[in-house]
């Protein structure tokens, strides 16, 4: 071994162990800290973290978000105290801050969150870190074309998650030689051993089968770790580190039953004494190597369309196609707009972007969970404006990733096509009928539901600069253009698209049902019943004021119509906005059963959300309130 290893690395490990134990020592017997108690999960990674942060990684410890820095993701997020302790060792955090761990006013939470600058994305729901690391590594290699590397630390228990293997495939397919996964094979999970126990050679075979360079090391040997982590890579590299859970705590080493437990005080004291006695004296201060400054500066502000939409009145286009055209247009003028899709680019029409900007299109294949994680990785440190598309129905399987994207304060844009019954012949398996409910429940989400080409183009433009998770819901069928190209759109601003003086009912509809509502309004006029039609444009935030004001003007009568299940959709959004209004009568039309295959117009009729159903509902509302008088 040509490596020069001196006592300082060992000291770092030991000091670091001491920080962890300072935390746990202080937490002992404190019932308020019952959830912050993963000492054994931290102990197995002490040497790994020390070597990574003081030997391998190049970064500026005083500026953790510097875009030239190497990236680190703690996928086994419950080992957060180990991460916090390392940042004490770098000087970024004060040791005293560690004592606030998990307290309600502390930014050191039970699992890592971006409240800390050294955390890019939240972890804690296991199995998601590697996908995000893939997005960062892809960005480093193909968009930034820079030297920074990406390191991801995983637990062996979390490797049962399928999402880990989606990420493994992605990394090798795209030859992410700047990505290193360190697998902490400590044999144990929470209530049981991990299925492969300490069979490191089985992990190696699996990693190799997935196209990775895989090296087995003793995860407690600083020397071995330094050696393998400084080897040049031509492939994504897996460091399969055989470790002992609870290493350094004799009573807990390699034993089930200690996961997530605080140490009894006397045990912590004993371990602390032992560590202190092993610290070697060295005057050397550890400082990580500086990063190579070869990342381009990037500004994601002022991402705009250079011109108004060019659709003409009467023209017809499906909103999904308008999405692809808008995205390609946005990409034409903004170099950092990138698009992801999961083998559906000729369904979602992200293929229009792909054809025009092939170097900024990332095919994620049929792995939607990983696609969302990769999107988060590409968006991290404000490197790219990311749009990821697939069928609306398939985002449901990535809901845990979306939840974590919200906690991560990620700025990602998602487009779900083929929403609702208008998907037609494909049948219910491909119909997104729960997507609005799902995205409405995400605190950072904005939901765009455009109804024509113009509003779709505006949604794409607005999403690019709207923070948080943006979701654009598009439909399969062609729809008429109803807006002028100079119409101004804003998040949270509804449009009144049909009205007269003596309207009797307000109809709120979006996407395909907006066109049905307009047809119903025309038809009823001959009745003669006049109705007002509102396009909410965004379902979240909902323009409550406009909806309530117009409902008042139509004698408190309001009807919602949506191509979605009743639960959690537009109707529920409107109804919860009206809880304080008296004298309002709200009726809702939505999909109440699992639909079947058929032509879109047949399905809209059968499930009661087409123009006839709307007309009928309105007649009933008008006549029943007349009878009541
Ligand atoms: C998706 C998910 N499932 C379950 C948990 C609960 N949980 C937290 S840690 C853990 C065991 C993790 O084992 P491993 O990945 O081997 O990490 P170790 O603590 O052994 O280092 C479990 C089941 C979780 N946080 N996320
Ligand atoms: C998608 O693209 C493939 C390959 O070009 C083609 O065979 C298929 O018909 C396309 N599907 C649709 C729905 O356009
Ligand atoms: C209804 O009124 C309560 C009490 O004034 C208020 O806190 C709440 O925000 C209101 N809800 C809506 C949806 O306007």
Series of mean pLDDT values for 10-residue runs along the chain (629 residues): 38 55 49 59 93 95 98 97 91 89 92 97 98 98 98 98 98 98 98 98 98 97 93 94 95 94 84 78 76 96 94 95 98 96 98 98 98 98 98 98 98 98 94 98 97 98 98 97 97 98 97 98 95 98 98 97 98 96 96 97 98 98 74
- pLDDT at 23 (0 to 100): 53
Is the distance from the beta carbon of residue 579 to the nearest atom of ligand 3 less than 6 Å? yes
Q: Which residue has the tokens 């992200």?
A: 350
What are the structure tokens assigned to 310, written together?
């060019």
Residue 628 is predicted with a pLDDT of: 54
Nearest CA to ligand 2 atom 12: 346
- What is the reported pLDDT for 258? 93
Q: Is the CB of 484 within 6 Å of ligand 2? A: no
> Does residue 454 contact residue 278 with C-beta atoms inside 8 Å?
no
Residue by residue, DSSP assigns 86-148 as: HHHHTTSS-HHHHTTTT-TT-S--SS--TTSTT-SS---STT-HHHHHHHHHHIIIIIS----
Q: Is there an atom of ligand 1 within 6 Å of 186 CB? A: yes
Q: How far is residue 625's CA from residue 629's CA, in Å, rounded to a whole number?
A: 7
Question: Do the Cβ atoms of 584 and 608 come closer than 8 Å?
Answer: no
Of 188, 185, 246, the C-alpha closest to 214 is 185
What phi, psi does 107 have (nearest 5°)?
Answer: -90, 0
Judge if the beta carbon of residue 245 lies within 6 A of ligand 1.
yes
- Whose C-alpha lies nearest to ligand 2, atom 1? 346
- Ligand 1 centroid vs 373 CA: distance in angstroms? 18
Nearest-ligand number for the alpha carbon of 574: 3
The pLDDT of residue 281 is 62
Distance 83 CA to ligand 1 centre (A): 16
Distance CA 259, CA 39 (A): 8
For 118-147, b/e burial (b = at least 16 CB within 10 A) is bbbbbbbbbbbbbbbbbbbbbbbbebbebb
Predicted confidence at residue 6, as pLDDT, reads 41
State the helix-helix crossing angle for 368-379 and 129-138, rounded to 10 degrees: 50
* 390: β partners: 416
| Residue with CA nearest ligand 1 atom 18 | 41
- Inter-residue contact 318 to 346 (CB < 8 Å): no
Residue nearest atom 6 in ligand 3 by C-alpha distance: 580
CB of 243 closer than 6 angstroms to any ligand 1 atom: no
CA 149 / ligand 1 centre spacing (Å) = 26
Give me the helices (H) in 142-230, please.
162-173, 200-209, 222-229
């Amino acid at each position: 071994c040509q490596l020069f290893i001196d006592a300082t690395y060992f000291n770092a490990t030991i000091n670091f162990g001491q920080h962890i134990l300072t935390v746990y020592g202080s937490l002992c017997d404190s019932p308020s800290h019952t959830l912050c108690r993963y000492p054994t999960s931290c102990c197995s990674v002490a040497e790994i973290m020390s070597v990574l942060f003081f030997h391998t990684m190049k970064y500026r410890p005083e500026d953790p978000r510097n875009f030239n820095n190497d990236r680190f993701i703690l996928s086994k997020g419950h080992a957060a105290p180990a991460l916090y302790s390392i940042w004490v060792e770098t000087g970024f955090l004060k040791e005293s801050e560690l004592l606030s761990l998990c307290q309600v006013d502390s930014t050191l939470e039970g699992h890592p969150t971006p409240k800390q600058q050294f955390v890019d994305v939240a972890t804690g729901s296991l199995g998601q870190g590697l996908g995000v690391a893939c997005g960062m590594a892809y960005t480093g290699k193909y968009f930034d074309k820079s030297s920074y590397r990406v390191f991801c630390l995983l637990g062996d228990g979390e490797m049962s998650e399928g999402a880990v293997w989606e990420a493994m495939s992605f990394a090798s397919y795209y030859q992410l030689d700047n990505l290193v996964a360190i697998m902490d094979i400590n044999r144990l999970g929470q209530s049981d051993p991990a299925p492969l126990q300490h069979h490191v050679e089985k992990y190696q075979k699996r990693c190799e089968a997935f196209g990775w360079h895989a090296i087995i090391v003793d995860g407690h040997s600083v020397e071995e770790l330094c050696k393998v982590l400084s080897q040049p890579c031509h492939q994504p590299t897996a460091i399969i580190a055989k470790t002992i859970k609870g290493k350094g705590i004799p009573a807990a080493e390699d034993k089930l039953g200690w996961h997530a437990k605080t140490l009894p005080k006397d045990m912590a004291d004993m371990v602390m004494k032992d560590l202190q006695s092993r610290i070697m004296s060295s005057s050397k201060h550890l400082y990580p190597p500086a990063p190579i400054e070869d990342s381009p500066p990037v500004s994601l502000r002022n991402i705009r369309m250079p011109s108004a939409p060019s659709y003409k009145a009467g023209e017809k286009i499906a909103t999904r196609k308008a999405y692809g055209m808008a995205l390609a247009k946005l990409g034409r003028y903004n170099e950092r707009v990138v698009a992801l899709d999961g083998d559906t680019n000729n369904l979602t029409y992200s293929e229009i972007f792909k054809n025009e900007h092939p170097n900024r299109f990332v095919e994620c294949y049929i792995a939607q969970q990983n696609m969302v994680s990769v999107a988060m990785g590409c968006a991290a440190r404000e490197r790219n404006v990311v749009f990821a598309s697939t069928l609306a129905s398939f985002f449901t399987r990535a809901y845990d990733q979306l939840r974590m994207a919200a906690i991560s304060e990620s700025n990602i844009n998602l487009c779900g096509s083929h929403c609702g019954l208008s998907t037609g012949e494909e049948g219910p398996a491909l119909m997104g009928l729960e997507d609005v409910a799902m995205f409405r429940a995400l605190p950072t989400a904005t939901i765009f539901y455009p109804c024509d080409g113009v509003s779709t183009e505006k949604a794409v433009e607005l999403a690019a600069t709207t923070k948080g998770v943006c979701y654009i819901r598009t439909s399969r069928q062609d729809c008429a253009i109803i807006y002028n190209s100079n119409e101004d759109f804003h998040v949270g601003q509804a449009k009144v698209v049909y009205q007269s003086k003596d309207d009797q009912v307000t109809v709120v509809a979006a996407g395909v049902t907006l066109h049905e509502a307009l047809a119903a309004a025309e038809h009823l006029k001959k009745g003669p019943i006049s109705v007002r039609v509102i396009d909410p444009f965004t379902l979240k935030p909902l323009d409550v004021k406009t909806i309530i004001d117009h409902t008042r003007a139509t004698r408190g009568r309001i009807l919602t119509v949506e191509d979605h299940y009743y639960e959690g959709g537009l109707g529920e959004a409107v109804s919860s906005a009206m809880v304080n209004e008296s004298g309002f009568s709200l009726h809702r039309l939505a999909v109440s059963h699992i639909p079947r295959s058929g032509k879109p117009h047949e399905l809209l009729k059968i499930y009661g959300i087409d123009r006839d159903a709307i007309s009928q509902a309105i007649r009933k509302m008008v006549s029943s309130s007349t009878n009541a008088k």
